[in-house]
Structure formats: structure tokens, C-alpha cells
Amino acid sequence: MNKHAGYTEIKLADGSTVPLKFGMWTMREICKTWNTDLSGMQAVADSLLKKDPFTAMFDMIGPAAQYGAVEAGKEDTSRPSEMTISRWIDNTGGMIGSPVVGQVMDAFANAMGTDATAAAELPAGKGARPGK
């Protein structure tokens, strides 16, 4: 898998990893979900992350995990459910304590060509801030 721009992994307690790829296909899926184009994507992300960070994480991690599974050659390449994504985040420390939130924001910002620190202001917590 191309582990360059827009790539990160969720490392679960059982030792397994979930590859996330914020590539062209992922960005298109997020644009469709948020009803925006690429030029408006950052503004929507900023707004949604402040108003409803839970939905933002589902909207971003779902297609990134699906594309990551395809790129990694995994057998199951379906989009993970919100419950599955919740378990991944809870398994790694929860919405505030999980480093996953920062990793997702970094990968998303990297794919957008922006600095994650400027991409969103998230609640302070162990690993939960952009730019980790």
C-alpha cells in the first residue's frame, strides 16, 4: 500500500491494525456525504468538527478505512459501520483520549495539503489534538 500522503493506521489493543487512506476516492466520498466540492471541504470539516465531532469522525474514518482495506488487499473491503468505528476509537482511548482522532486529522489535512493544527480545534486531551 502507498503509505505516503493521507495514510495512517489505527493500532488496536489486540495488535491488529486498521489502515486508513485519505486518497482521491476517499475525498470524493466525503465530499458526497458533506454535499460539498473539494474547495469547500475544509470549511465543512472545520464547522462539523466543532459542532458534531462524532459525525465528522464517522464520515471521515468510514471511507478512509474502506479505501485502506482495498489498498491493503484485505478480504473484507466493505465500509465499516459507525458501531465498528466507535469500537476502534473506544479501544484506543475514547474520543478525547485516543490518538486516533489526531491521526485522522493529520492524514486528512495531509491529503488536503493543509496543516492539521489549522484544520480544526479539537478538545484538549491525550493525543486528541490536531498535529499530535
pLDDT band at 6 (very low <50, low <70, confident <90, very high): confident
CA-nearest of 13, 34, 31 to 22 is 31
pLDDT tens column, 111-126 = 887 644 443 443 433 3
Residue 105 is placed in which grid cell? 486529522
- How far apart CA 128 and CA 130 sit, in angstroms, is 7
Residue 115: Cβ within 10 Å count = 12
The number of CA neighbours under 13 Å toward the Cβ of 59 is 20
pLDDT tens column, 62-106 = 999 999 999 999 999 999 999 999 999 998 888 888 888 888 888
> Which residue is it, cell 478525547?
96
Write down the pLDDT at residue 1: 52
pLDDT band at 128 (very low <50, low <70, confident <90, very high): very low
